[in-house]
Amino acid sequence: MIEALELTKKFTEFTAVDGLSFHVGAGEIYGLLGPNGSGKSTTMRMLLGILQPTSGTARIMGHGIANEIVAAKRVMGYVPEEPVLPERLTGWEYINYVADIWRIQRGPEREEEIEELLTLLDIRDASDDLIETYSKGMARKIGLVAALIHHPKVLILDEVQAGIDPRGAATIKEIMNGLRDRGASILMSTHVLEIAEQMCDRIGIINQGKMIAEGTMDELRLQAKGHSSLEEIFLSLTGGPDMQKIAEFLGEIA
């Protein structure tokens, strides 16, 4: 389970996250949505212990991030929006390196599982290549393999499907559904609203660091009366495009 309780993060005079509270239960996929700069990645980094909150608390599987960070990290897997990977290692070397960090026993069973994950995400053929040769999509896939290798009970994914080919995106979707069915808690952010609408059990929409709407799709529809799709709900709550300025721009270049 993931719990955020009145999380706040300030950078000097700028408040990136402002009193944010939500929870992700066992066997649930929760989508954290918002415009660019709304505080999604900052929130995730606080949950991971990468950033210290200015105030508020966070717990992972009951472990407080402030005082039980090691226990919390043992049960977490994380894929950042821009994975930072050791470019002079091959994909295979990197995953084995991560497996060693998690103290997963070496042997045929570990190698078979790594092989299975690499094959599932369609990067087995590239696993002997240096990571510096990988595309952004391949880098995200190898990052996901690294996040899954220790069977985390909590998974935090920041735009994991961005830049992934349709087949890979469908595979990731099925993996996430399978993990949810096994009781994992999954927190994901995405700008692809169709993905969030299809995959997430509940959705939280944040804007300027604050939670402005939360619930299932049916609950969100009630909060944004007259709107049915997640895109319509999102735009009605966060502000749609400025049609007048668009018309003026198009008029200027006509």
Predicted confidence at residue 251, as pLDDT, reads 65
Predicted confidence at residue 165, as pLDDT, reads 82
For residues 28 and 186, the answer to whether their CB atoms sit within 8 Å is yes
Predicted confidence at residue 187, as pLDDT, reads 96
What the block records as the tokens of 100 is 């060693």
Spell out the domains of the chain, with CATH numbers in brackets. Answer: 2-253 (3.40.50.300)
Interstrand relation of 2-11 and 14-24 (parallel, antiparallel or unpaired): antiparallel
> pTM of the predicted model, to two decimals?
0.88
Give the Cα separation of 69 and 106 in Å (integer). Answer: 26
For residues 41 and 91, the answer to whether their CB atoms sit within 8 Å is no
Predicted confidence at residue 9, as pLDDT, reads 94
Per DSSP, the residues of 164-179 read --HHHHHHHHHHHHHH
For residues 186 and 161, the answer to whether their CB atoms sit within 8 Å is no
- pLDDT < 70 regions, the chain: 226, 240-254
pLDDT tens-digit profile of 86-142?
999 999 999 999 999 999 999 999 999 999 999 999 999 999 999 999 998 899 999
> Among 17, 56, 61, 70, which residue's Cα sits nearest to residue 154?
61
Predicted confidence at residue 252, as pLDDT, reads 62
Phi and psi of 152, rounded to 5°?
Answer: -70, 150
Predicted confidence at residue 220, as pLDDT, reads 86
